[in-house]
Amino acid sequence: MPAKFGDFGHKELLCQRNWQKFFISDFQKRDIRAKLYGVKVHYHSYDAVIVGAGGAGLRAAIEVAGKVKTAVITKLYPTRSHTGAAQGGMCAALANVEEDYWEWHAFDTVKGSDYLGDQDAIDIMCREAIDAVIDLEHFGMAFSRTPEGRIDQRRFGGHTRNHGEAPVRRSCYAADRTGHMILQTLYQQCVAREVNFFNEFQVFDIIFDEKDGERRVAGVVAYELATGDIHVFATKGVLFATGGFGKMFRISSNAHTLTGDGPGLLFRKNIPMEDLEFYQFHPTGIYGFGILLSEAARGEGGILRNVHGERFMERVAPTVKDLAPRDMVARAIHAEIREGRGAGPDKDYVYLDLTHLPPEQIDAKLPDITDFARTYLGIEPKQQPIPIQPTAHYAMGGIPTNVEGEVIADGNGTVIKGLYAAGECACVSVHGANRLGTNSLLDIVVFGKRGGRSMANYVSQTDHIDLARGVEQDVLDRISAIKSATGSKKVSDIRTELQLTMTDNASVVRTAESLDAALTTINRLKSEYSNIAIDDKGEVFNYDLVEAMELGHLLDLAEAFVIGAQARKESRGAHWRDDYPTRDDSNWMKHTLAYKDADGTVRLEYKEVVSGRYEPMERKY
Amino acid sequence: MTMTMDKSPQIDSHEKEVKVTLRIKRYNPEVDTRPRFQEYEVMLKPGDRVLDALHAVKWKIDGTLSFRRSCAHGVCGSDAMVINGENKLACVNLIRNVGTDLTIEPIRGLPVIKDLVVDMEPFFAQYRSVLPYLIANDDPGYKERLQSQDDRERYDDTTKCILCACCTTSCPVYWANDEYVGPAAIVNAHRFIFDSRDQAASERLDILNQKSGVWRCRTSFNCTEACPRGISVTKAIEEVKRAILYDRV
């Protein structure tokens, strides 16, 4: 029985407790050699399944586990998830250090989104942010503290007091490892609640039941990495929390495992993808590596400089300077480099300068990112500025959902019963055309919780659907097709070429020509993808097979991304078109919905933006 | 506002590639009866990571090589392995620092499943056994619990743990005795034992006072040297020992 929080009954357990009691690996009980005689299929029945165990998946699990029988399926160990790489903080108008209101936070988020964010969802996120932070603190999160012992807060890009007057201290943080602390804390709470994890299982398919034209979730099919076995999970509800797809770019802050598995899977099942063309490039990635250097560095007083030492953000955003939103800063860096003011032999990077900050402040507030600079570039940030370049960071778009986390199938808000999504893979849309720093950690805990809660409610009021026999056949066929393929192309070569064309042609600045070039390459790569071969034909930890499957998702999403960007003839937030350099509210203040039709072509539809208190105005900082 | 950029570093993106030789301990349970070493040669820049070398092998030469990895910058803890005899994360060590002759083996003390992939379940079971979560039965209401900066600092070091298992699988006692919970589990117990908000320190100390607990530690400092996050692991273990002996936190 999952323990009730706060009542662990550990006193009774103490006398016989030692760790072997917790040993639940059934791996050793199995003889892998038996696998040589063919793939085994296992069947499970759950009320609810959560796919992905980063911040959103774990937060949902805390909400669902204990209420209904829940399985969390993750292709990694939960603590490996990329939430752990988030650094700077999580905004909430706690007003612990200065005056602040959640309405100001909402205004900043709407303005940051370049008026593409849905204001109903933004209101919910900013209002519930305060409780979300308090919840995390009660869960044991190790926030940095003020001298009075309250949760400390610091400045962050685009977050201002009183509708843009000046930067405000709103970001709750734990040094520069806030994401790590959130991920650990949520995982700890899942351990406390004895959540049922299926670690290193990758979901390859979702099963719908269709009756009278209405689709309902019936189950998922997963692949067990350790054995190559197939597991069919019959379930009433599925929540996808699989994260982003930043590995379609060459220079990226994303983990190797962020390949858009959830969105890619659903896209093939005729579920639209919303606003894929809006992709955030973080201004400060370590040059050459793309590793994230938190905006907190600028929140603590860091300054961006070009090769001449000039603080160029003073020209671009006179009021908030280096703390302008990420899309503007990334474009400013791009412009410096394009106009010949970049540094280095190729003049292709600028500097993040922390040398004027007190060394104690750097050690206390920015220990990890300064270590990254030492490790990867051999630079001492206390004495030298750090070479940086924009890096692919975050997908504003993804699986369309409403504010309850329910996935919607069209522009009219039709809900697919039993299907939920939260976190970066979802698009509520609270980030619109450009996400503000810290709002992603907020998004995962607020909408992870809401998605989990509504899934728990739904599955406790509905019955199981009988799964037809052989639902796993499609996955078995795909696996054996890839293993037996004898093509001439390598998965890694196709992926590298995709990453290069996306970084060159569909990143910070786009034009019709660059997007055409990207689409031509993607189409060629898609045909090459049907002509691949892999080396590993085995069952045990066959990452060769997994990477081939993942590449399919990246190619599909990149195609829809570029087609959406080609169609959108305006510049808004992170989507900047040099050939259409202004925002066009009369024609384009709408969300893109990309569908993959049965013949494989991508079709675009559009959806109204939910308006609210804040009228669109020019975006100046 | 401008500054002189005299000290500004120049990063050479055209560094010459060097030949890197990797001797990797391979084991495929579907074919092999025992582990074997296999050698590969790849061309890399001195500024590349060991992980890039493994990827070069997997993506260009031999796709059957299996290893775990995710974030590639030392925060997820997936790619702990033995590199030239020492437990390290492949993604935070550059060729420039570890050399061009690399011997790579799976971490020791956990069952090898395939190549560099080991069974992590015993490790996580040991982690779960120390109550690694906040236990506080008071009702703080709708506001945060207060914690002074000094109290927060008290357990800061052990919050950095990423559960990569570098420490536990470098411990000679752990290699010899699979009953020992290992350094990582103690680090995660320490994180809560010394958290002023937590109320279950005595339960955790009782767990670690058993024969599977802290007294197995022989202070060899392997764990401290192996930790990629720079946690003073041995110090944390000693602090737990002292808390048990003197019955105070």
Q: Write out residues 548-607 of A within 8 Å (CB-CB) of B.
A: none
- Helices and strands in chain B: count of H runs, count of E runs: 9, 7
Q: Look at A145 and B147 and tell me if their CB atoms are within 8 Å.
A: yes
CA A184 to chain centre: 17
Residue at a domain's end among A389, A411, A432: A389
A131 burial (CB, 10 Å; 0-12 / 13-18 / 19+) is: middle
- Smallest Cα distance from B67 to chain A, Å: 8
Region A337-355: mean pLDDT is 96
Site from B6, B61, B71 to mutate, A interface, most A CB atoms within 10 angstroms: B71
Claim to verify: residue B196 and residue B213 sit in the same structural domain: yes
Q: Look at A21 and B147 and tell me if their CB atoms are within 8 Å.
A: no
Claim to verify: residue B128 and residue B103 sit in the same structural domain: no
What confidence score (pLDDT) does residue A38 get?
Answer: 64
For B3, the closest of A76, A133, A309 (CB atoms) is: A309
Q: Write out residues 195-214 of A within 8 Å (CB-CB) of B.
A: none
Q: In whole angstroms, give the CA distance from residue A441 to residue A446.
A: 9
Residue at a domain's end among A336, A368, A389: A389
Report percent pLDDT > 90 for chain A: 90
Claim to verify: residue B68 and residue B53 sit in the same structural domain: yes
What confidence score (pLDDT) does residue A34 get?
Answer: 41
In a domain, A482, yes or no: yes
In a domain, A430, yes or no: no
Q: Is the pLDDT of residue A36 over 90?
A: no
Report percent pLDDT > 70 for chain A: 94
Claim to verify: residue B128 and residue B228 sit in the same structural domain: yes
Region A442-454: mean pLDDT is 98
* Alpha helix segments (H runs only) across A393-472: 439-459
CA A237 to chain centre: 21
For B8, the closest of A311, A384, A540 (CB atoms) is: A384
Query: Of the candidates B94, B238, B79, B99, which has an alpha carbon nearest to the alpha carbon of residue B166?
Result: B79
Give the DSSP H or E segment for B54: helix B50-56
A385 contacts: CB under 8 Å, gap ≥ 6: A305, A351, A352, A353, A354, A355, B5, B7, B8, B9
What confidence score (pLDDT) does residue A35 get?
Answer: 45
Residue pair A330/A503 in contact (Cβ under 8 Å)? The answer is no
What confidence score (pLDDT) does residue A180 get?
Answer: 98
Mean pLDDT for chain B? Answer: 95
Residue pair A159/A108 in contact (Cβ under 8 Å)? The answer is yes
For B148, the closest of A7, A131, A149 (CB atoms) is: A149
Claim to verify: residue B111 and residue B128 sit in the same structural domain: no
Q: Look at B11 and A536 and tell me if their CB atoms are within 8 Å.
A: no
Claim to verify: residue B170 and residue B158 sit in the same structural domain: yes
Q: Write out residues 402-441 of A within 8 Å (CB-CB) of B.
A: none
Query: Of the candidates A248, A315, A128, A117, which has an alpha carbon nearest to the alpha carbon of residue A522?
Result: A248
Query: Half-sphere exposure (CA, 13 Å, Cβ side) for A294?
Result: 32
Q: Is the pLDDT of residue B7 over 90?
A: no
Q: Is the pLDDT of residue A197 over 70?
A: yes
Mean pLDDT for chain A? Answer: 93
Q: Write out residues 280-299 of A within 8 Å (CB-CB) of B.
A: 287-289, 291
pLDDT in tens, B60-80: 999 999 999 999 999 999 999
In a domain, B3, yes or no: no
Q: Is the pLDDT of residue B5 over 90?
A: no
- Smallest Cα distance from B220 to chain A, Å: 23
Query: Of the candidates A377, A303, A284, A314, which has an alpha carbon nearest to the alpha carbon of residue A87?
Result: A284
Region A167-196: mean pLDDT is 97
What confidence score (pLDDT) does residue A4 get?
Answer: 44
DSSP A277-345: T-EEEEEEEETTT--B--THHHHTT-EEE-TT-B-THHHH-TTTGGGS-HHHHHHHHHHHHHTT--BTT
Size of interface A-B (CB pairs under 8 A): 259
Claim to verify: residue B162 and residue B202 sit in the same structural domain: yes
Claim to verify: residue A481 and residue A378 sit in the same structural domain: no
In a domain, A468, yes or no: no
Residue A517's φ and ψ, nearest 5 degrees, are -60, -40
Q: Is the pLDDT of residue A337 over 90?
A: yes
Q: Look at B76 and A81 and tell me if their CB atoms are within 8 Å.
A: yes
Shortest CA distance from B131: residue in chain A = A192
Tokens of A465: 């659907």
Domain count, chain A: 2
Residue A364: CATH number of its domain: 3.90.700.10
In a domain, B55, yes or no: yes
In which residue are the tokens 């011997």 written?
B103
Please list every residue in chain A whose beta carbon sits closer than 8 Å to the beta carbon of residue B192. Answer: 140
Region A283-287: mean pLDDT is 97
What confidence score (pLDDT) does residue A22 get?
Answer: 56
Q: In whole angstroms, give the CA distance from residue A481 to residue A76.
A: 25
Residue A222's φ and ψ, nearest 5 degrees, are -120, 155
In a domain, B70, yes or no: yes
Please list every residue in chain B whose beta carbon sits closer than 8 Å to the beta carbon of residue A24. Answer: 121, 125
Shortest CA distance from B97: residue in chain A = A375
Q: In whole angstroms, give the CA distance from residue A433 to residue A606.
A: 15
Segments forming the whole domain that contains residue A478: 473-607
User: Is A453 at the interface with chain B, CB within 8 A?
Assistant: no
Alpha-carbon distances, residue A178 vs A83, A287, A536, B81 (angstroms): 9, 23, 38, 26
Claim to verify: residue A499 and residue A597 sit in the same structural domain: yes
What confidence score (pLDDT) does residue A245 get?
Answer: 98
**Bond preceding residue B148 cis, omega within 30 of 0:** no
Query: Of the candidates A142, A225, A236, A233, which has an alpha carbon nearest to the alpha carbon of residue A196?
Result: A233
Q: Note if A338 is an active site residue.
A: no
Claim to verify: residue A381 and residue A499 sit in the same structural domain: no
Query: Of the candidates B6, B132, B140, which has an alpha carbon nearest to the alpha carbon of residue A151?
Result: B140
In a domain, B166, yes or no: yes
User: Is A538 at the interface with chain B, CB within 8 A?
Assistant: yes
User: Is A374 at the interface with chain B, CB within 8 A?
Assistant: no
Region B15-20: mean pLDDT is 94
Paired residues of A44 in beta bridges: A233
DSSP tag of B16: P
- Smallest Cα distance from B188 to chain A, Å: 10
What confidence score (pLDDT) does residue B11 get?
Answer: 82
At residue A120, the 3 state secondary structure works out as helix
pLDDT in tens, B188-231: 999 999 999 999 999 999 999 999 999 999 999 999 999 999 99
Q: In whole angstroms, give the CA distance from residue A281 to residue A332.
A: 12
Q: In whole angstroms, give the CA distance from residue A57 to residue A189.
A: 13
Helix orientation angle between A491-505 and A543-567, rounded to the nearest 10 degrees: 30
Residue A359's φ and ψ, nearest 5 degrees, are -55, -35
Query: Of the candidates B197, B188, A189, B226, which has an alpha carbon nearest to the alpha carbon of residue B214?
Result: B188
Claim to verify: residue B191 and residue B110 sit in the same structural domain: no
What confidence score (pLDDT) does residue A33 get?
Answer: 36
What confidence score (pLDDT) does residue B9 get?
Answer: 82
pLDDT in tens, A48-60: 999 999 999 999 9
What confidence score (pLDDT) does residue A307 get?
Answer: 96
pLDDT in tens, A119-162: 999 999 999 999 999 999 999 999 999 999 999 999 999 999 99
A20 contacts: CB under 8 Å, gap ≥ 6: B125, B179
CA A353 to chain centre: 28
pLDDT in tens, B104-162: 999 999 999 999 999 999 999 999 999 999 999 988 988 999 999 999 999 999 999 99
In a domain, B39, yes or no: yes
Give the DSSP H or E segment for B38: strand B36-44
Largest CA distance in chain A: 72
What confidence score (pLDDT) does residue A213 get?
Answer: 84
- Where does the pLDDT of residue A16 fall: very low under 50, low under 70, confident under 90, or very high at 90 and above? very low
> Which position among A154, A305, A326, A510 bears the catalytic label?
A326
pLDDT in tens, A474-519: 999 999 999 999 999 999 999 999 999 999 999 999 999 999 999 9
Please list every residue in chain B whose beta carbon sits closer than 8 Å to the beta carbon of residue A148. Answer: 146
Tokens of A404: 């309850």
Q: Is the pLDDT of residue A451 over 70?
A: yes
Tokens of A581: 């350099």
Please list every residue in chain A whose beta carbon sits closer than 8 Å to the beta carbon of residue B74. Answer: 372, 375
pLDDT in tens, B49-62: 999 999 999 999 99
What confidence score (pLDDT) does residue A40 get?
Answer: 87
Residue B222: CATH number of its domain: 1.10.1060.10
Q: Look at A191 and B5 and tell me if their CB atoms are within 8 Å.
A: no
Q: In whole angstroms, give the CA distance from residue A402 to residue A426.
A: 10
Residue A323's φ and ψ, nearest 5 degrees, are -100, 25
What confidence score (pLDDT) does residue A5 get?
Answer: 44
Claim to verify: residue B168 and residue B110 sit in the same structural domain: no
- Where does the pLDDT of residue A11 fall: very low under 50, low under 70, confident under 90, or very high at 90 and above? very low
The sheet carrying A303-305 orders its strands as: A279-286, A386-395, A350-353, A303-305
Claim to verify: residue B111 and residue B126 sit in the same structural domain: no
In a domain, A103, yes or no: no
Q: Look at B76 and A82 and tell me if their CB atoms are within 8 Å.
A: yes
User: Is A149 at the interface with chain B, CB within 8 A?
Assistant: yes
B192 contacts: CB under 8 Å, gap ≥ 6: A140, B131, B132, B133, B134, B135, B155, B198, B200, B201, B204
Residue B74: CATH number of its domain: 3.10.20.30
Q: Look at B185 and A19 and tell me if their CB atoms are within 8 Å.
A: yes
At residue A140, the 3 state secondary structure works out as coil
Q: Look at B207 and A144 and tell me if their CB atoms are within 8 Å.
A: no
What confidence score (pLDDT) does residue B13 get?
Answer: 75
Residue pair B227/B233 in contact (Cβ under 8 Å)? The answer is yes
In a domain, B213, yes or no: yes
In which residue are the tokens 């919780």 written?
A449
For A288, the closest of B11, B78, B92 (CB atoms) is: B11
A319 contacts: CB under 8 Å, gap ≥ 6: A164, A166, A620, A621
Q: In whole angstroms, give the CA distance from residue A568 to residue A570.
A: 6
Region A33-45: mean pLDDT is 69
- Smallest Cα distance from B70 to chain A, Å: 5
For A180, the closest of B67, B75, B198 (CB atoms) is: B75
Total number of residues shown for chain A = 621
Helix orientation angle between A543-567 and A512-529, rounded to the nearest 10 degrees: 150
- Where does the pLDDT of residue A395 fall: very low under 50, low under 70, confident under 90, or very high at 90 and above? very high
Claim to verify: residue A369 and residue A491 sit in the same structural domain: no
Q: Look at B203 and A353 and tell me if their CB atoms are within 8 Å.
A: no
pLDDT in tens, B82-96: 999 999 999 999 999
Query: Half-sphere exposure (CA, 13 Å, Cβ side) for B31?
Result: 13
Claim to verify: residue B114 and residue B156 sit in the same structural domain: no
- Smallest Cα distance from A532 to chain B, Å: 13
Instruction: Using a cut of 0.80, tell me whether the model's pTM lies above it.
Output: yes
In a domain, A100, yes or no: no
Domain count, chain B: 2
Claim to verify: residue B47 and residue B102 sit in the same structural domain: yes
Q: Is the pLDDT of residue A61 over 50?
A: yes
Shortest CA distance from B71: residue in chain A = A255
A477 burial (CB, 10 Å; 0-12 / 13-18 / 19+) is: exposed
In a domain, B6, yes or no: no
Please list every residue in chain B whose beta carbon sits closer than 8 Å to the beta carbon of residue A138. Answer: 140, 144-145
Segments forming the whole domain that contains residue B28: 18-118
What confidence score (pLDDT) does residue B4 get?
Answer: 53
Q: Is the pLDDT of residue A212 over 70?
A: yes
Paired residues of A201 in beta bridges: A224
What confidence score (pLDDT) does residue A26 get?
Answer: 47
Weakest mean pLDDT among A61-65, A267-271, B13-17: B13-17
- Where does the pLDDT of residue B3 fall: very low under 50, low under 70, confident under 90, or very high at 90 and above? low
What confidence score (pLDDT) does residue A18 get?
Answer: 55
Please list every residue in chain B whose beta carbon sits closer than 8 Å to the beta carbon of residue A8. Answer: 131, 135, 200
**Bond preceding residue A429 cis, omega within 30 of 0:** yes
Residue at a domain's end among A389, A407, A428: A389
In a domain, A499, yes or no: yes
Q: Is the pLDDT of residue A8 over 70?
A: no
In a domain, B38, yes or no: yes
Claim to verify: residue A384 and residue A478 sit in the same structural domain: no
In chain A, what is the straight-line distance between the N-terminal and C-terminal CA atoms, in Å? 53
Please list every residue in chain B whose beta carbon sits closer than 8 Å to the beta carbon of residue A346. Answer: 13
Report percent pLDDT > 90 for chain B: 89
Q: How would you classify the pairing of strands A153-161 and A166-172?
A: antiparallel
- Smallest Cα distance from B195 to chain A, Å: 9
The CA-based angle A17-A18-A22, given to 5 degrees, is 95
Tokens of A119: 């204001």
For B114, the closest of A343, A535, A541 (CB atoms) is: A541
Region A299-312: mean pLDDT is 96
Q: How would you classify the pairing of strands A230-240 and A415-421?
A: parallel
pLDDT in tens, A398-430: 999 999 999 999 999 999 999 999 999 999 999
